[in-house]
Each structure stands twice: as structure tokens, then as C-alpha cells.
Homo-oligomer: A and B are copies of this chain.
Amino acid sequence: MSRGQDSADPKERPPRSTRVDKRRALLDGALLVFAEDGYTRASIDTIARRAGVSTRTIYNQFGDKAALFEAVIVDSARRTADEQIATVRRYLGKIVDIEDDLIEFGRVWASPAPEHAPHFALVRQIHADAGHIAETTLRAWQEVGPLRVRKEIAEHLSRIATAGHLTVTDADLAAVHLVQLIAGDITTRTYHGAIPLPVAELHRLSDAGVRAFLHGHISARH
């Protein structure tokens, strides 16, 4: 999980071996296979073939299949969360018009981002397999991924609220509401990315989610 000690020479250390490259290739290939097939169905041979690596290397690097799965979960969650946090900062950093800005944010957030589709399929696998995954792994995943993203969104919403644009009592909960309204229905309808869902429909759903987040559905308007 964490590097024991930094053996960082002051001078540039030449790529001492392909060790790190193989590890990277394995994390990427295993993500694809685990995302498609799930933990049990995914075979070590398939993963090795997809990563361009021998099965023996998997065991040398990770120990066993469960450890590889856990490494993939944490790695993929961190990478995706990094991207999402960048998106949040880019679109919620400066608010001019709260509705326009949230709608633009929602459209980007709800966009497929095809290179991250495997990650979301993996998340579905985690949800389904939670009963067979170590507690520590689940916690590590939550902290490095979803919770980090939620915290980022919540902090932005709080700031926007103090600026007078929003009424937010529980920022974490508001963050959950926002992302669920924006993308909740989409993720259930774009099964494992197999059904792409046209962009226009995607924007319609996301826009409606943002408006619901802001105004609600009660008819006390005007």
C-alpha cells in the first residue's frame, strides 16, 4: 500500500528495470478484465494476456489474485478521483451565474469520458462483491476515491453558499444530492457503457438534474 522507505538517490536514477512498467501494465490490463468480468470470472491467464505479461509476474509482483484486485481498486479509484477533482475545480472554482455554471458542470460530469468507463464498471463490481472484499480495502477505496471527491464538491458548495448563491445546511449531503441528480439515472442507464446514450438526451437529463437541485419540484414559484 505504501512505500516503506524512499530509496531516492539525489541524482537521476536510470530506469533500473522494467519492474514499474510491468506493474503499470498489469494495473491497467487487470482493470479492464476485472471491470468486464468481475473478480471471480476474471482469470489470471486472461489478465496476464491482456497486460502482455506472464502469469508468473503477477504472482511475483502482487502475491495473489485478491491482492491484485485490491491494488487495482485503489489505483483506479485514485486516478479517476484525481480527474474528477480537477473537473470540480475547473467548473466550480469561480461562479458567475449559479444555474449556468452548474449546468455546464453537470454536462461535463455526466459525459461518458470513455477512458474512465472501465473504472465505473469496476465500481459496480465492488458494490456487488462488497461482501467478499476485505473491510480495509473497502475503506481504503472509499477514502482515496468517492469520499475525496465528495469532500471537494462539498467544500465548493459551502463556499458558493456563503457567497449567497445557495442554502446549504449539510454540505456533504448536498454534494451527494447534486451528483445523484446529475448522473444518478445515467449510470444506471448506460450499462457498462454498452448503451452509449446520445449526447442530447444526456444533456437533457443532466440539465434537469441541476434544475431540480436548485429549484426542486414544488409549485410555489412566482
Contact = CB atoms under 8 A, between A and B. Distances in A.
A173 B216 contact: no
Contacts of A219: 161, 164-167
16 contacts: A40-B40, A121-B128, A124-B124, A124-B128, A127-B128, A130-B192, A161-B219, A165-B219, A166-B217, A167-B221, A170-B208, A174-B212, A177-B212, A180-B184, A215-B216, A215-B218
Contact of A131 (B36, B127, B213): B36
Interface in A117-159: 121, 124-125, 127-132, 138, 157
A38 interface: yes
A155 to B, nearest CB: 15
Contact of A132 (B41, B170, B177, B184): B41
Interface string A166-199: 1110100110110011001100100110100000
A173 B128 contact: no
A218 B40 contact: no
Interface string A21-47: 000000000000000111011000000
Contacts of A176: 184-185
Interface of A (DSSP majority class) = helix
A171 to B, nearest CB: 10
A181 B185 contact: no
Interface string A64-100: 0000000000000000000000000000000000100
Contacts of A124: 124, 127-128
A131 B208 contact: no
Max chain B CB contacts within 10 Å: which of A36, A127, A170, A208? A127
Contact of A216 (B36, B161, B205, B214): B214
A65 to B, nearest CB: 13
A130 B38 CA distance: 11
